[in-house]
Structure 1
Amino acid sequence: MSTRHTIAVLVNDQPGVLQRVSGLFGRRGFNIESITVGQSEETGLSRMVIVTVGDEQTLEQIEKQLYKLIDVIKVINLSSNPMVARELALIKVNAEPSERPEIMGVVETFRAAVVDIGSHNLMVQVVGDTTKIDAMIELLKPYGIRELSRTGVTAMIRGNV
């Protein structure tokens, strides 16, 4: 059964590492739903958080293949533990002055924020898990989404692990 997996990959902060990791997924026919990369707590190392879909065997294969890459230090299956996962989205939505109170109701319900106002549109920032982001997008679609940018998932294991 295919399920969504979130994995963290600790890598050397070197040019070309992202390309090698994403290339590995492509060559093996594994899809990347989202990938985020940034500095880690250790100098010289970056953390990639990758969301992919597959069964347990596929995930095991991905982990084995990642460890074959020279710059990969550690692979952690975050989704096998309780985790905190967040994503950020910026959504530019059509918003004539008469529609703004309605849209503001949606923004407040999702604890989102208006970060820019134009004469005929609003830009909304929302942070949360992927389900929350998807739900907000669905509620804003009837107004007309002009532009959408999502960061992809970043995540950590909860607690003292």
Structure 2
Amino acid sequence: MKHTLSVLVEDEAGVLTRIAGLFARRGFNIESLAVGPAEQVGISRITMVVPGDDRAIEQLTKQLYKLINVLKVQDVTEVPCVERELMLLKVNANSVTRSEVVGLAQIFRARVVDVSEESLTLEVVGDPGKLVAIVQVLTRFGIREIARTGKIALTRESGVNTEYLKSLESKLGTA
């Protein structure tokens, strides 16, 4: 199972290196990584997606707390969250296919950020599933390049689990 960890750290040189070293020593692969300033000056939030069972993630969390500069570790996998990623996607689009590519991009609320004779570059923001879906839809035109950020996530203060609501709607047929 993939776990999403949100880690608050003091914003100092070497913190990310120590965390990555811990993961490497334990044989864990970090599938997604995003780092940026948090709500307080001098604090950064690291959001990681890591494969592993609950027990392994619990051990990893304990090890993270032992590192200098780690302030808080939270496994937000089962917590209601808002999750987003950003992707830049360069897709083949000539004069014949351009309008179809733009139409499909609009369905996904993607923005065209660059145009050339033979391609379009799209900016797509959304949950990871949305990014996978647009790539699948546009693959038939030919994907030239992809650049993706890591997943970022914040817990929902409302406590509403929209993923649960979506699955409930689909089961009831009201989607």
TM range (shorter): over 0.9
User: Is residue 109 of structure 1 aligned with residue 127 of structure 2?
Assistant: no
Alignment partner of 2:73 out of 65, 70, 75? 75
- Equivalent residue runs for 1:1-161 within 5 Å: 3-159=1-157
- TM-superposed CA distance for 1:80, in Å, is 2.6
Give the number of the structure whose residues are more often strand, by fraction: 1
Structure 2 gaps of 5+ residues are 160-175
Q: Distance in 2 between matches of 1:129 and 1:160?
A: 18
Q: Distance in 2 between matches of 1:53 and 1:121?
A: 35
Q: Aligned Cα RMSD in Å?
A: 1.1
- SS of the aligned residue for 1:142 comes to helix
The amino acid of 1:139's aligned partner reads V
- TM-superposed CA distance for 1:160, in Å, is 5.3
Moved over 2 A (4+): none
Q: Distance in 2 between matches of 1:118 and 1:160?
A: 44
- TM-superposed CA distance for 1:139, in Å, is 1.3
- SS of the aligned residue for 2:96 comes to helix
- SS of the aligned residue for 1:156 comes to strand
- SS of the aligned residue for 1:97 comes to coil
Number of equivalences: 159
What percentage of aligned pairs have identical amino acids? 49
The TM-score normalised by the length of structure 1 is 0.95
Per-residue CA deviation, residues 33-59 of structure 1 (Å, 9 max, x unaligned), is 101000011111110001111110011
Structure 1 gaps of 5+ residues are none
Q: Does 105-114 or 84-93 show the bigger shift?
A: 105-114
